[in-house]
Amino acid sequence: MAKHLIIGGVAAGMSAAARLRRLDEKSEIIVLERGGYVSYANCGLPYYVGNEISDRNDLLLQTPESFKRRFNVDVRIHAEAVAVHPDRKAVTIKNLLTGELYEESYDSLLLTPGGSPVRPSIPGCLHPAIKTLWTLPDTDEIRKMVDSGSVRRALVVGGGFIGLEMAENIRIRGIEVALVEMAPQVMNVIDPEMAAIVHRELRKNGIELHLNETVTGFETLPGGGVLAQFGSGTSVEAELVLLSIGVAPNTGFLAGSGIGLGARGHIIVDQHLRTNLSDIYAAGDAIEVVNPFTGKMGAVPLAGPANKQGRIAADNIHGIMARSYTGTMGTAIAKVFDLAVGVTGATEKFCRDENIPYRSVINHSNHHAEYYPGATMISFKLLFSPETRRVLGAQVVGCEGVDKRIDVIATAIKGHMSVDDLTEIEHAYAPPYSSAKDPVNMIGFVAQNILDGLVGSITFDGVKRAVDEGAYLLDVRSPGEFMAGTIPGAVNIPVDLLRHKLSRLPKDVPVLVFCKVGVRGYIASRILTAHGFTNCVNLSGGIDTYNAANGL
């Protein structure tokens, strides 16, 4: 009878334990979890702070007892693996309640220890008002502080996914929230002009944003709060500080085990999620995964991939077949107040860093038929290869229908599909759900037009240089829209009048055309090109993207 040991009882570990049992009714399966809970809803924790999820029990998906009953798995909580001994196939375990140390042997070992939030070594950082959110006890502490009414003002350090979710959930409890982020933008996994839309939403909802800013220290204030000192000299008072600056893998206990770790301590696995040592597998936040675009290894701690890896590891441990994990492209989404912000695949930053040739476009479309009540605009950025025409990545921001478009693009990337394929996707259309041409089709059309040479495209960050080099700025929106604000120096000729006013335009300089979102600009570009204004480019995403990107 095989004996399987699993270290870590949350996403990947519990997913693997359940699958292993379903594959093999008779083996012995032991899960070791150093915390007091297994299989809890870790992605739901911020929403329990915000009281969106009001019943704490909803967060507890399984208990050791329920898992034993259903899957006949020996789940031990407060059980910390402190050392692995591959030579004699055993793990040393510490019972955290009694301090007792004991050994457990294994035939196969699965490492799913996950990660823990990083605590920076900033002076004053151990003050009790300064928290991280990762486990249920973390959440209990933070919620207790929020519930007590003693927190008037909170500071979130780090503008990643958890930071933003926490900022929102603390804010909706009526607490003033400041958010400090070292980078010039929140959410470093999206490009700046998309992050700019998020900045607007955060400010609109009363989040005080401090970008390009570091925390240099915390001073204790009388009454339980702290004064956070920023690198710029500013300081912010807070009764609650939430640190969300990153996660490090919980792999310290593997030191000396001979199990190969990466530069930042993540476990190195092959495509079958095997470590370098026989019968030892790993999955979840603590491993390095392959990037499908570059083939390079890196850590991408996300719940979806962790759960899927757990199942694959179980299949390989059991030997049902050699199942492969094909990599993580980094699909992610966050709710930020009324917005959803989603990303999949490559971003511009990534393509530049990795020297991947790319083109990008931005389109704005209604999430469903404009004439059906409740239509809202989504901003859709697509990256694609000018060589292979393949889809490389997408970022979508909007109120509704964001997750749908991200999932479709993620599927298209997985299927190695091209921008031409996007134009042909036969989506589900009725007015409450989409338009006859879905935003996915539309962004495919735009990309196709660029690749087919029908229109020149310029992105928001190229406008200044084009103007400096003498480009003629042409706003083809209506006079009313023009009067309400345009790009400085622009001349207004509405697209519907353009054919009659061509003589006004200079033929000897480049013409930079723009409208609100890019559609009229494209039509105008085609008119101009046909009339010999061959050096003409359309502003991708229009003045909407330009203004958002420039914080206007």
Residues between 340 and 399 with contacts to a copy of itself, criterion CB under 8 A: 340, 342, 344, 369-373
If one asks whether residue 403 binds a copy of itself (CB under 8 A), the answer comes out as yes
If one asks whether residue 437 binds a copy of itself (CB under 8 A), the answer comes out as yes
* Residue in the block written with tokens 């229009």: 542
If one asks whether residue 26 binds a copy of itself (CB under 8 A), the answer comes out as yes
Nearer to a copy of itself, 179 or 412 (CB): 412
**CA atoms of 104 and 113, how far apart (whole Å):** 17
* Residue in the block written with tokens 């993207």: 545
Identify the burial level of 378 via C-beta atoms within 10 angstroms of its C-beta, where 0-12 means exposed, 13-18 middle and 19 or more buried.
buried
* H runs (alpha helix) in 96-160: 136-148
Among 329, 392, 517, 536, binds a copy of itself (CB under 8 A): 329
If one asks whether residue 425 binds a copy of itself (CB under 8 A), the answer comes out as yes
If one asks whether residue 432 binds a copy of itself (CB under 8 A), the answer comes out as yes
Hey, which residues between 95 and 114 contact a copy of itself (CB under 8 A)?
none
If one asks whether residue 250 binds a copy of itself (CB under 8 A), the answer comes out as no
Query: Which range of residues in 107-115, 274-282, 298-306, 462-470 is near a copy of itself by CB under 8 A?
Result: 298-306
Hey, which residues between 40 and 69 contact a copy of itself (CB under 8 A)?
41, 43-44, 47, 52-53, 58-59, 61, 69
Catalytic (active-site) positions: 43
If one asks whether residue 522 binds a copy of itself (CB under 8 A), the answer comes out as yes
Instruction: Name the β-bridge partners of 111.
Output: 7, 282
Residue 552 DSSP label: -
Q: List % helix, strand, coil for the chain (3-state, nearest 5).
A: 30, 25, 40
Nearer to a copy of itself, 41 or 221 (CB): 41
> One symbol per residue from 139 to 178: x for binding a copy of itself (CB under 8 A), - otherwise; what is it?
----------------------x---x-------------
Identify whether the C-beta of residue 476 lies closer than 8 Å to the C-beta of residue 526. Answer: no
Among 220, 232, 234, 326, binds a copy of itself (CB under 8 A): 326
Nearer to a copy of itself, 142 or 228 (CB): 142
If one asks whether residue 271 binds a copy of itself (CB under 8 A), the answer comes out as no
Residue 285, both tokens: 């936040």
Query: Which range of residues in 84-92, 106-114, 440-448, 510-518 is near a copy of itself by CB under 8 A?
Result: 440-448
Query: Which range of residues in 28-36, 76-84, 170-178, 319-327 is near a copy of itself by CB under 8 A?
Result: 319-327
If one asks whether residue 414 binds a copy of itself (CB under 8 A), the answer comes out as yes
What b/e string do you get for 157-168 counting C-beta neighbours within 10 Å, with b at 16 or more? bbbbbbbbbbbb
- Pick the closest to residue 528 from 517, 543, 538, 541 (CA basis): 538
Query: Which range of residues in 90-98, 236-244, 320-328, 465-473 is near a copy of itself by CB under 8 A?
Result: 320-328
Hey, which residues between 457 and 516 contact a copy of itself (CB under 8 A)?
495-496, 499
**C-alpha angle with apex 542: 183 to 439, nearest 5 degrees?**
90
Query: Which range of residues in 135-143, 194-202, 378-386, 401-409 is near a copy of itself by CB under 8 A?
Result: 401-409
Could you report how far apart the first and last alpha carbons of the chain are, in Å?
66
If one asks whether residue 430 binds a copy of itself (CB under 8 A), the answer comes out as yes
Residues in contact with a copy of itself, counted by CB under 8 A, come to a total of 92
Instruction: Name the β-bridge partners of 197.
Output: none
If one asks whether residue 338 binds a copy of itself (CB under 8 A), the answer comes out as no
- Phi/psi zone of residue 267: left (φ > 0), alpha (ψ -120 to 50 degrees), beta? beta
Among 305, 398, 510, 542, binds a copy of itself (CB under 8 A): 305
Residue 477 DSSP label: S
Nearer to a copy of itself, 80 or 315 (CB): 315
Query: Which range of residues in 113-121, 136-144, 146-154, 324-332 is near a copy of itself by CB under 8 A?
Result: 324-332
Among 172, 433, 451, 482, binds a copy of itself (CB under 8 A): 433
Instruction: Name the β-bridge partners of 263.
Output: none
**C-alpha angle with apex 505: 499 to 507, nearest 5 degrees?**
110
**CA atoms of 191 and 295, how far apart (whole Å):** 22
Nearer to a copy of itself, 144 or 499 (CB): 499
- Pick the closest to residue 385 from 350, 351, 423 (CA basis): 351
- Pick the closest to residue 198 from 174, 179, 215 (CA basis): 179
Among 304, 319, 485, 506, binds a copy of itself (CB under 8 A): 304
Phi/psi for 518 (5° steps) reads 120, -15
Nearer to a copy of itself, 97 or 497 (CB): 497
If one asks whether residue 212 binds a copy of itself (CB under 8 A), the answer comes out as no
**CA atoms of 475 and 520, how far apart (whole Å):** 10
Identify whether the C-beta of residue 359 lies closer than 8 Å to the C-beta of residue 451. Answer: yes
**CA atoms of 143 and 535, how far apart (whole Å):** 59
Q: Which amino acid would we find at residue 520?
A: R
**CA atoms of 162 and 50, how far apart (whole Å):** 13
Nearer to a copy of itself, 85 or 323 (CB): 323
Nearer to a copy of itself, 170 or 340 (CB): 340
